[in-house]
């Protein structure tokens, strides 16, 4: 069955490459094949998974005549950096409501890039975030800018739908993997892949490694989002929380807390494959995958694909850069 084609604009350079990781696989004892889908190379201002989502979200914003986009994230948000870049490319204003404190003395990593990309930054806390978003929205509305609100992580059903097309892209690139492993946070990427699997008949596993939230929070959220994505594609199916695979044991140190596990994953990928992963998302997910492979968690001979969702600018962010440089 042909997929519904939702309106999108072009921001990414697609398809992103699928590459083998033989030296990393050998360093982990072998007995499986390891691949990476390079969504760190989506091409917009240092890439990442949000660029695909923004192709759909900003098509809707343009259709609505919006002149400003508003979104939110943490100080080192890759989503906010890519939103700022996409807005610049389309001649829109980006207002980024960041949770946390302005960095002193100098912004680094993604936060530095948000500045460079010309975003209008507002500071808030987790508790006041929704209220500040609402106030910013109201002010832009009253100024006649028809603001377009993008939720945390770009993970509305429309944003997540981008990963239906991403799975379609992957399946056209070669034999289907037995397992797809990815970093999961707001859940949109995994929800889109799960919905895509239903629509495209992909029968492999889609294993999300949580970077922050417990699995019993993420499973129902991702299932609900995947069901709403299916609805966008006019499929009647629904996804149940029990259909969603999430591992949360690597999230325990908390969001953005880089431990020895992430340091090992980052340096191993860099030194065996010249592949850069980040301290917050892909480093944690790869650390989880490495641990699972060492435990022999997948059947021998499995074809395993690590979906690299980006985030590498955080390697240059303090305090990660300093910790990794020692």
Ligand X SMILES: Cc1ncc(COP(=O)(O)O)c(C=O)c1O
User: Which residues of this chain interact with ligand X, rule CB under 6 A?
Assistant: 48-49, 78-79, 153, 155, 183-190, 278, 281-282, 309-311
Task: List C-alpha distances in Å: 223 to 87, 152, 250.
Answer: 30, 17, 21
Nearer to ligand X, 249 or 299 (CB): 249
- Give all strands (DSSP E) within the chain, no chain letters: 18-20, 33-38, 68-74, 93-99, 120-124, 148-149, 179-184, 205-210, 245-247, 303-308
* Residue among 113, 116, 121 at smallest CA distance from 95: 121
Active site residue 300: no
Question: What is the side-by-side strand order in the sheet with 245-247?
Answer: 18-20, 33-38, 303-308, 179-184, 205-210, 245-247
Nearer to ligand X, 147 or 279 (CB): 279
Quote the least distance from Cβ 74 to ligand X, whole Å. Answer: 8
Nearer to ligand X, 182 or 199 (CB): 182
Quote the least distance from Cβ 82 to ligand X, whole Å. Answer: 8
Neighbours of 131 (CB within 10 A): 11
DSSP per-residue string spanning 90-127: HT-EEEEEEES---SS---HHHHHHHHTT-EEEEE-TT
Nearer to ligand X, 109 or 147 (CB): 109
Backbone angles phi and psi of 259, in degrees to 5: -110, 180
Residue whose CB is nearest to ligand X in the complex, by number: 311
Quote the least distance from Cβ 280 to ligand X, whole Å. Answer: 7
Nearer to ligand X, 103 or 135 (CB): 103
Quote the least distance from Cβ 219 to ligand X, whole Å. Answer: 13
Quote the least distance from Cβ 4 to ligand X, whole Å. Answer: 21
Catalytic-role residue among 33, 66, 77, 318: 77
* Residues identified as active-site: 77
């Amino acid at each position: 069955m042909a997929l519904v084609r939702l309106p999108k604009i072009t921001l990414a350079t697609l398809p992103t490459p699928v590459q083998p990781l033989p030296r990393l696989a050998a360093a982990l004892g072998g007995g499986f094949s390891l691949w990476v889908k390079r969504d760190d190379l989506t091409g917009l201002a240092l890439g990442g998974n949000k660029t695909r989502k923004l192709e759909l979200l900003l098509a809707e914003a343009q259709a609505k005549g919006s002149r400003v986009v508003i979104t939110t994230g943490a100080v080192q948000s890759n989503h906010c950096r890519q939103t700022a870049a996409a807005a610049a490319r389309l001649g829109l204003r980006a207002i980024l409501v960041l949770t946390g404190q302005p960095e002193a003395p100098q912004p680094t990593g993604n936060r530095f890039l948000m500045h460079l990309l010309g975003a209008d930054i507002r500071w808030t806390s987790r508790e006041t975030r929704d209220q500040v978003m609402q106030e910013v929205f109201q002010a832009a509305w009253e100024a006649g800018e028809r603001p377009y609100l993008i939720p945390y992580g770009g993970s509305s059903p429309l944003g997540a739908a981008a990963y239906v097309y991403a799975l379609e892209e992957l399946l056209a690139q070669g034999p289907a993997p037995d397992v797809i492993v990815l970093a999961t946070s707001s859940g949109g990427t995994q929800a889109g892949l799960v919905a895509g699997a239903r629509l495209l008949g992909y029968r492999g596993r889609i294993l999300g490694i949580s970077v922050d939230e417990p699995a019993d929070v993420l499973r129902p959220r991702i299932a609900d989002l995947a069901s709403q994505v299916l609805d966008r594609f006019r499929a009647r199916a629904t996804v149940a929380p029990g259909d969603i695979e999430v591992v949360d044991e690597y999230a325990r140190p908390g969001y953005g807390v880089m431990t020895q596990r992430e340091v090992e994953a980052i340096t191993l990928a860099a030194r065996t494959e010249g592949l850069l992963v980040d301290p917050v998302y892909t480093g944690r997910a790869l650390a989880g995958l490495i641990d699972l492979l060492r435990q022999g968690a997948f059947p021998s001979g499995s074809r395993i694909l690590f979906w690299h969702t980006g985030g590498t600018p955080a390697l240059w962010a303090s305090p990660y850069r300093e910790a990794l440089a020692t």
